[in-house]
Structure 1
């Protein structure tokens, strides 16, 4: 019973991270295409109050994996040392750039460049990591037996590009939601143009996965109702583009977030009960029951609900439209 609880909490943490930190990484990438410094300051003001809290969900997901599913942690980490290290470098660059750009003078261009490059690196390497995981890792007796370079192939790199596009659409939707005037119009233009491209990338990943993995193909053909998930994912990306054009303030972000959640659901539907495709199941990887109970009384019962409350309060306090004058700094 507790094993499924930890799977649910891990899925919740990953979904929260993608939906929340995804938009501020997307905004960071979009900032590289803004030449007007005043407009860039408004853009940063939309994410300044929340970007650091959003990253907490990635830490929670890693902690749950380490404590509740240690074999998965021991397999995935060495397989992804390089992309995860580059991702962390990108996240550090993004965080430092956000803090320093508000105080910089002549060096402002350096921090603006680091914000763009750091956000792009972090987003791309997260997609590469997901693609490497989804294509399967060499495992023998719950031990990783690969070279650490499985990510250097077409499918993971394609997934990295797809996730960058997905995050950019999320970021554009966030600018539509939080911005006004020129900033909001920039978000609408970006969302309307890039959401269809993200939709095409997502469709190509679905098709490639079905063709490359017979286990996934067999599962989906045996349960045709599962095809509703990718179809809804593609439709919500399309809807994000259309609502950005139509003038809605909330729907572009909401539909882009729904697309990302549907992508995660599609991945889960394709793999579960495997947590390392297609070698290690949830129950193979689960920690001893005593460990899971110990985690439950701390992380499960108090820490996760506390982070949820903190996140809600932060977004409630900083609700509404923002501008350069009303930013966090």
Structure 2
């Protein structure tokens, strides 16, 4: 094996979260790519309304947690705090879970943690977190045998040993490669399944939600999705800390037996995000209000666009019986 050659999971862990990792850089993720959180404050408003539903389902507890996993620089929590009703805000305990250092000037109400708070009651929300949980990659060789893909520091790849053990079991169930055409690839998702299961267990009661670009077992991409992003552009993934390293999420595998899957379009529509244009009559009666409503409609349309952010997957996982009906409520609109 060439010097410095590692599995993608090991290489990405260092490249993203090591001392000089991409997610520890001062500009933060927003300096390189734009998520729903950055697209519009309507997104934080929708999360605030979901939080209110969780609060109601739990019977308005004395302390309600909002855990933001993969919090970036606290943008989502800041937006939610600005939009929750005062009575709920007085009981709210917001947690930002992020490996980077706490940014200066962040709202002092936000508790900044490097790991999940345990035993809390409320809403756990993970927007585009799972796609950055490092995983290994497999590729079918000339004989159709899935082999581990190894990567060098400059991003060059080579095939290693045949996949075995837990990796092989996960592939067989969720992303079969055995006998696939040479060059077919899969990202081995069990580290993400485990990370999500641990996040769900951190709640004593409430609702856990993961939002990400995703695919299902019947529509896996034949050559995988591993890629890089830097300064707003998709780039070749190189595990040197210079770029984001990401891959779509097999949310169906993360869901297990108790999770429910929706599209972002379904979820946000149910939470009041409406991309329809305001009536033209408003332009004549209140032009300023029409302009504001038109701008909001444009932002909403981006969040729910079927071929864009609206196609993202939402995985909803109730913990305890009180919130068991919330996924069906959102699915019903």
Tell me the TM-score normalised to structure 2 length: 0.29
Larger radius of gyration: 2
Question: Per residue, is there more strand in 1 or in 2?
Answer: 2
Q: With CA pairs under 8 Å and 6+ residues apart, which has the higher RCO, 1 or 2?
A: 1
Question: Per residue, is there more helix in 1 or in 2?
Answer: 1
